[in-house]
């Protein structure tokens, strides 16, 4: 859904991220190619739950993030928790 909104493929997205020096560089590049208004995409993503993960992507999602998430859990909460585990904040 996100990649479609930005009119990009996985490979193109990886290239954009790889070429960027900052998160702002990524955002600027992606938003130039956006096919939907930012407010619309943001509103949809704030409601996107585990049960909304498309069937064809669910096995990969579960492999990466586990199968224990309730259907109503927000995907961004899953991603945030994964980031916190992967990149712990230094005290």
Which pLDDT value is given to residue 30? 92
Q: How far apart are CA 13 and CA 58, in angstroms?
A: 20
Q: Which residues have CB under 8 Å from 81's CB, separation 6+?
A: none
For 17-47, write each residue's pLDDT tens digit: 999 999 899 999 999 888 889 899 889 888 9
Task: Please state the pTM of the whole predicted model.
Answer: 0.67
């Amino acid at each position: 859904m996100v990649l479609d909104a930005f009119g990009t493929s996985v490979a193109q997205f990886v290239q954009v991220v790889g070429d960027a020096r900052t998160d702002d560089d990524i955002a600027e590049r992606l938003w130039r190619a956006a096919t939907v208004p930012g407010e619309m995409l943001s509103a949809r993503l704030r409601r996107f739950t585990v049960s909304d993960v498309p069937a064809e992507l669910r096995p990969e999602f579960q492999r990466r993030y586990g199968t224990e998430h309730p259907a109503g859990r927000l995907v961004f909460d899953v991603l945030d928790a994964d980031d916190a585990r992967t990149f712990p904040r230094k005290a």
